[in-house]
Amino acid sequence: MLLIEHFYENYGKELGLELLAGKAGLNKRIRKPEVHRPGLSLTGYKKNLVTARVLIFGKTELEYLREMDAEIRRERLESILTESTPVVMITKRFRSPKELKVICEKNGIPLFRADLTATTLLSRITFILLEEFSPTTTMHGTLVEVFGVGVLIQGESSVGKSEAALGLIERGHRLISDDVVKVKKKEGAHLVGYGPDLTRHLMEIRGIGIINVAHLYGAVCVRPDKGLDIVVKLEEWDDRHFYDRVGLEEKFCDILGMSVPFHTLPVKPGRDVVLLIETIALNHRLKEMGYHSAKEFNSKLLDTISKRQNKRKKNEAYAKSED
């Protein structure tokens, strides 16, 4: 759901919107990410009419309305502009019919006039609404881009997430956001992480305070957003825990209904976390390219074992025939 007031504030300038009527409806919400040109509905055909969509009146609609008698015009408009209609827009700075203004004012539907043509406005608004309506969550962790792979570093407070990120930045990798990462599921198919506007590219390091990475290391070390490819969880080393030694079993975690490769990385003095994260990222790229080191090695090993077994069988068979 999107408050029309926020929509107007955030995108009004970009779309060249001008409020003509229905100011009282600015606190209404757009409930569906759908845009509609009323066209056919204006002829009086109202089957399957969904009123909760954003309506766009283009040149065709306005010309058609103009040709009608004033009374019919009012009637037809009233039948499609109900209270559940979130917002109405007129394209290309056309003049609004008087009845449209009156009905919008009466029903509290904001009526905007835009600079753009109907086709452009339609696609721009559809895109904006899909963006705004995509599921989002806030996660605790640090998002960095390592060799082109989006790595979300997670872990308890003070385990060294920010320090690891700082080390990665120093080696030429990029920071997207520290501590708080917003994650959005785009087109229902992939995850994108970004930082909240206010704390973008800021980091909090124990003993130093808040630093601005973009200012300290330059624009090359930051990125506004990045696809989230893998999650690495830093953990204090626990002697009783058995950590992955081979890498044959792959673990995944769930973010907004998508499964993301997940690695647990134990931390202890002497283990270079930065280097390890770089290795995990590179290994992920290798897997994406179709080469899985652990699986490849395992199949080679199985091959060698079976060859040896065959050889032994052959030798035994030979020995038997000799007898």
Partner 1 sequence: MKLTQKVKIKNDLGLHTRPATVIVKLLQAFNSHVTFTYRGDTINARSIMGILMLAAKKNCQIKIMADGDDADLVIEELAKAFESKFGEDL
Residues that bind partner 1 (CB under 8 A): 138, 140, 157, 178-180, 196, 198-199, 202-204, 210
CB of 210 to partner 1, least distance (A): 8
Catalytic residue among 179, 185, 229, 233: 179
Is 295 among the residues known to form the active site?
Answer: no
Rounded Cα distance, 58 and 88, in Å: 11
Nearer to partner 1, 157 or 321 (CB): 157
Single out the residue of 18, 114, 118 nearest to residue 60, CA to CA: 118
Nearer to partner 1, 120 or 134 (CB): 134
CB of 264 to partner 1, least distance (A): 18
Is 323 among the residues known to form the active site?
Answer: no
Q: Please report, in angstroms and rounded to a whole number, the separation of the first and last CA atoms in the chain.
A: 86
Catalytic residue among 161, 223, 226, 233: 161
Q: Which residue's entry shows tokens 């640090």?
A: 142
Maximum CA extent, the chain: 113
CB of 69 to partner 1, least distance (A): 48
Single out the residue of 38, 87, 83 nearest to residue 64, CA to CA: 38
Single out the residue of 268, 294, 283, 273 nearest to residue 154, CA to CA: 273
Nearer to partner 1, 139 or 260 (CB): 139
Is 179 among the residues known to form the active site?
Answer: yes
CB of 207 to partner 1, least distance (A): 13
Nearer to partner 1, 37 or 161 (CB): 161
Catalytic residue among 13, 47, 240, 245: 245
Q: Which residue's entry shows tokens 């050889």?
A: 311
CB of 208 to partner 1, least distance (A): 12
Rounded Cα distance, 32 and 268, in Å: 50
CB of 157 to partner 1, least distance (A): 4
Q: Phi then psi for 109, rounded to 5 degrees?
A: -110, 120
Q: Is the dihedral of CA 111, 116, 120, 126 positive or negative?
A: negative
Nearer to partner 1, 73 or 174 (CB): 174
Q: Which residue's entry shows tokens 């009845």?
A: 99
Q: Exposure pattern of 305-317 as b/e (b: 16+ CB <10 Å)?
A: eeeeeeeeeeeee
Nearer to partner 1, 1 or 50 (CB): 1
Single out the residue of 126, 11, 114, 125 nearest to residue 58, CA to CA: 114
Residues known to be catalytic:
161, 179, 245
